[in-house]
Structure 1
Amino acid sequence: MNRFPIWKGNRIGRYDDRLILRSVIFFALIITALSAFVIRLTEGNILLRIFLLFLIVVLYLLDMLYKWKSGNMTDIRNRQAMARMLLENRWFETEPLRQSRTGGRMERIIYFPALYYRRKKRHIYVTVKISMGKYQDKLLTLEEKLETGLNCELVKKDTRDIWVKYEFLTGVEKNRIDIQDVKAKNGELNLMKHISWKYDKLPHMLISGDTGSGKTIFLLIVIKALLESGAVLHICDPKKADLSFLSRIMPDVHYDTESIMECVEAFYEGMETRYDEMQEHPDFRMGANYAKVGLTPHFLIFDEYVAFMDTLAKKEWEEVMKLIRIIIMKGRQAGYFIILACQRPDAKYLGDGVRDQFGFRVALGSMSASGYTMMFGSIDKQFKEKDIAGRGYVNTGNGVVTEFYAPYVDPGYDFFTELSRIYEKRQQEGEACDRMYENGSETAGEE
């Protein structure tokens, strides 16, 4: 029978609810035994006895310090907490034995769930055996209890044969990266050390967050990385706020209603034209995407999408929704991707399953329970609130909602200057390529 190809870890036993006490007693017995042996061995030498007893105490303290630094003490505490979870919820099977002298009924545990614990650095792995017993449903949805009890975040859940494996991460904020480390290449945009948006496989991004949540800064971070990668950007900012200032340094930035509607329509037409170009390309094969034939990705970045739709007449917003829906359904293979940002993902403008088609969904700042449900659907998760700019929750397309920290940006960082520099560099590189192409054409003509 195939199992996970790695060691599952320590099995949680029925007596592990007192694991800390057992560990203390075990070490106390070892110290007592060693002390008794030293006393007997050094009956005639008091100084040697004192030295050896002192050495034992020092070694014991060093061992305790090592266990605390390496996380072994945390492992013991976590294993004890998991054992108590199983026992207090009575997720085991028993059989009666006999009545006790006090009139109580005695029972014996005949089945205890196969639950394993393992830790590697800041990653905690919990593996559960699927037994088809009466507590199976509880054991297959442990993420909420373990996240709260072990102070960690679920980052992956995998089922293989008769095993379900949970992977948690402690200290998620330590995986936050700097804006300079955010890069888009090979169809992937890294946003944390363990989180990236793989837009070639899971296209389109949906961002939500109230004022002050860091939503605009996050959009600028994404714009900077995509601009550096050579992608073509189409930016819409109906509130004529921060993103609209980019019109001073780059084309295709729109902020009035008519211009935004024209931008969406042009983006849709560009996608349809791209499919014709791909099919005529000599390297095109069935199933190949835009990158296989050397084409550049396009991104429609739409801030305050819901607020913009609220300003339109019904006929107009229905037309915009129709185009957005088609782009979302067809854009991946052609390399046409949408990034929508709003304060709340209103189902009115993201209905008919469109919201579920966004491969990367991130909610920044604090949201109500209904807000999280609108973003991620109904899930068993305890959302925590922390007053940290750029913090929130994300679903990267793997069905797991986990804590997220947007890349760190220094308070003095000047986006306008940096984006101007990147765009000018792109223009210079494009002009240089054009000159090389012209020179090559002239040389071929002379020959």
Structure 2
Amino acid sequence: MRGLFSYKGKRIQLYYRYLNIWYTFFFSIPSLTLAAWLCWKNLTNIVSVIDGNQKARPQIIMLGILVSGLIFLTIAVSLIGMKRSKENGGYFSRLQRCQWLLKYLIKNNLVDTKKIKTETGSKELIRVPKVYYRKKDSLDCFTFELGGKNHKEFLMMGSVLEELFLGDLVEIDRKPMLVTYKLLLDTIERRLSIREVKAENGSIEIMEGVSWEYDKMPNMLISGGIGGGKTYFIYTLIKVFMEIGTVKIADPKKSDLGVLADLPAFKGHVVMEKEEIFRLLEDSFEMMIKRYKYMREHENYTMGKNYVFYEMPPYVVIVDEWAAFFSTLDYKETDRVLKVLMPLILQGRQAGVYMIIALQRPDAQSLPNGIRDNLLAKVSLGRLSELGYKMTYGVRPYGPVMMVC
């Protein structure tokens, strides 16, 4: 019953097409009222000019200029105010999204139409199907009622909404007779500088409204092509985790992350050679085992508590260009890597040991044995192909994922 009567948002109506005009008129009412009052006060002079008396003509001309200027100024201020509201994500920004969707529905015949006869011929009546819009936290939610003639079309609206609003579809919520698409819009305006990104209470705010709760969604998969911002994003994670814990970095291509090895703060924390990467993963596995032993032997050992309870910092291992590294391994080397990598990913969360793997193409050859599925936090940088999204998320990214564009 609670789901049946849950708030879906405001229903999009046909009159939304004309709301900008009506709002402009509404904002102009004070000026129109003042103009009417001025005309009423000068009614005698206006009538005399109409009757041919030219003495009051200059005064009436000035009155006309004043009234016209007042109305024009009010309309201009109204339009500027509505434009600013759209730019700042205010009410008129939300109204504009409703109007865009309404226009799409009409243009693509996703509305009910009926012709009725009139005295002068006939006219077409348009009835908009039950479509709702609401703003919930950082997401824009569009709800469509199913079961009508547009049932199939409404089930496929996710990609349409992404294209209409240039946003990212992050979740599809299905209920009886309803489907809700939740989009993250205005991604550029939501970006944070690297200095603004902080870790607090087991969570990192990646951008406004998008956080990674690394204690609840341990381990991360990062995908993205050249120029998508993958390296800069990894730099941000390195900076954040360096402030609260230990970061180990592997760069098999000896490129963007490898240069950090020359900095004093990263001495002993960056590896690039194959054997060094082997040892890094094995040492991280040993670190996880030691942490579990420390927790079990702690005088305040409490079942179910994680590393935070025992005041241990996070231990994060970042491997960039994973595919370039994994593709060079022979059978024995692959077995050596997976022998420690799988336990790190599956068991590391409670001990505070996390894996972050970055690559351009997260296919099954590079991430075998369910590794991809157990990297719970998934981030795609830039725009990927449909196949690229499927490789990253398993399905189109509908759910608790992050897409940073």
TM-score per shorter chain, which class? 0.7 to 0.9
2:311 equivalent among 291, 294, 298: 294
2:366 equivalent among 349, 374, 377: 349
The residue aligned with 2:83 is 68
| 2:249 aligned with 1:235 | yes
* Conserved? CA contact 1:363–1:375, under 8 Å: yes
Question: How many angstroms does 1:276 deviate by?
Answer: 2.9
TM-score (norm 1): 0.70
Q: 1:295 to 1:82 in 2, by over 3 A?
A: same
* Conserved? CA contact 2:172–2:179, under 8 Å: yes
Alignment of 1:115-264 (within 5 A): 115-117=132-134, 125-128=140-143, 130-133=145-148, 135-136=150-151, 138-139=153-154, 142-154=157-169, 166-229=181-244, 231-247=245-261, 249=264, 250-264=267-281
2:296 equivalent among 263, 272, 279: 279
Of all paired residues, the percent bearing the same amino acid is 32
SS of the residue 1:289 aligns to: coil
1:127-151 CA deviation, whole Å, 9 max, x = no partner?
A: 4265554545644553432232234
SS of the residue 2:301 aligns to: coil
Following the alignment from structure 2 to structure 1, what is the Cα–Cα distance between the partners of residues 256 and 233?
12
1:82 equivalent among 101, 107, 126: 101
Deviates more, 1:238-247 or 1:292-301: 238-247
SS of the residue 2:299 aligns to: coil
- Provide structure 2 residue ranges, at least 5 long, that are not aligned to the other structure: 47-58
Question: How many angstroms does 1:165 deviate by?
Answer: 5.4
SS of the residue 1:362 aligns to: strand
Question: How many angstroms does 1:124 deviate by?
Answer: 6.6
1:113 equivalent among 130, 142, 145: 130
Question: How many angstroms does 1:350 deviate by?
Answer: 0.9
* Conserved? CA contact 1:202–1:359, under 8 Å: yes
Question: How many angstroms does 1:317 deviate by?
Answer: 1.0
TM-score (norm 2): 0.76
Following the alignment from structure 2 to structure 1, what is the Cα–Cα distance between the partners of residues 269 and 168?
39
The residue aligned with 1:11 is 11
In the alignment of these two chains, the number of paired residues is: 383
Question: How many angstroms does 1:334 deviate by?
Answer: 1.7
The residue aligned with 1:372 is 389
Q: 1:266 to 1:75 in 2, by over 3 A?
A: closer
* Conserved? CA contact 2:198–2:240, under 8 Å: yes
Q: 1:195 to 1:299 in 2, by over 3 A?
A: same
The residue aligned with 1:402 is 403
SS of the residue 1:190 aligns to: strand
Q: 1:9 to 1:216 in 2, by over 3 A?
A: closer
* Conserved? CA contact 1:114–1:128, under 8 Å: yes
Question: How many angstroms does 1:336 deviate by?
Answer: 1.2
Letter in 1 for 2:255: A
* Conserved? CA contact 1:206–1:339, under 8 Å: yes
1:214-257 CA deviation, whole Å, 9 max, x = no partner?
A: 4334323322221121x122322223334345445322433222
* Conserved? CA contact 2:130–2:145, under 8 Å: no
SS of the residue 1:146 aligns to: helix
Q: 1:92 to 1:281 in 2, by over 3 A?
A: farther
1:305 equivalent among 322, 341, 356: 322
Deviates more, 1:197-206 or 1:176-185: 176-185
Q: 1:182 to 1:22 in 2, by over 3 A?
A: closer
